[in-house]
Amino acid sequence: MNDTRLAPKIRLHVAQPLGPAQTVPLEREQANYLFNVMRLGPGDLVALFNGRDGEWLAEVITAGKRAGELRCHAQSAPQRMPPDVWLLFAPIKKARTDFIVEKAAEMGAARIVPVQTEFTNSERIRRDRLQAHAVEAAEQCGGTYVPEVTDLLRLDRLLDQWPEDRRLMFCDETLAGGAAGLSGFARGDPWAILIGPEGGFSEAERARLRGASLARAVSLGPRILRADTAAVAALTLWQTALGDW
């Protein structure tokens, strides 16, 4: 082992189990990143996590152009799960949707759910690409957990089958300027945050959400925020009031 590299800066998400002396074969893209882009070689250390087993220090055993193998040494951080909060958002333009997924992963969302509302601008998403953004965000922010990005779901269907124990923080732009509205809840309940598209919610959607017993309509301050800003602001508000901040 190369002792000058005991604090690796490179963090890699892998699918394989991690544990003492566990070997981890690399996929082609991972080998390319570690050995060609970052110029690592045998003896160098990287930090690995898989979303289940915490973070592990692993040593490069073999390094090829398209393949390689690492071996785990010791756990360097325990597994940490985010609070049970989902982010539901209506996809917008590609770059802004990417931003929302990246920020939601950094801000500790447990699950990221793109929803199609009446005024949603985009009818398709690339789930695999969005999931890759969530993985990169987790690698970068020191997290040991990667939120799942689901397929695009219709808001009305999602509400039809809403889990009976999950509260919903409905970010309602018509409440701009009112009080935030998250007081009076205890920590520990499962929640979801709902952010609308650039066109906001329809009257029918608003009426349904206002009438839902598990939903709480909240304001995100006196200004109307763009959907990507609103997603970060809402997660900040929720994490401060009810999450792990």
Residue selected from 84, 98, 106, 173 as contacting ligand SAH according to rule CB under 6 A: 173
Closest distance of CB 218 from ligand SAH, Å: 6
Q: Which of the ranges 4-12, 143-151, 160-168, 191-199 carries the binding residues for ligand SAH, by CB under 6 A?
A: 191-199
Q: Which of the ranges 22-30, 41-49, 170-178, 235-243 carries the binding residues for ligand SAH, by CB under 6 A?
A: 170-178
Closest distance of CB 42 from ligand SAH, Å: 50
Residue selected from 137, 227, 235, 242 as contacting ligand SAH according to rule CB under 6 A: 227
Place of tokens 């999450």: 243
DSSP 3-state of 194: strand
221 binds ligand SAH (CB under 6 A): yes
CA dist., res. 45 & res. 72, Å (int): 9
Q: Are 50 and 18 in contact (CB under 8 A)?
A: yes
Residue partners of 156: CB distance under 8 A and separation at least 6: 205, 208
Closest distance of CB 235 from ligand SAH, Å: 12
Cβ burial 194-229 (10 Å sphere, 16+ → b, else e)? bbbbeebbeeebbebbeeeebbbbbbbeeeebebbb
CA dist., res. 152 & res. 43, Å (int): 43
Residue selected from 176, 212, 214, 241 as contacting ligand SAH according to rule CB under 6 A: 176
Residues that bind ligand SAH in the complex, under the rule CB under 6 A: 171-173, 175-176, 195-196, 198-201, 219-221, 223-225, 227, 230
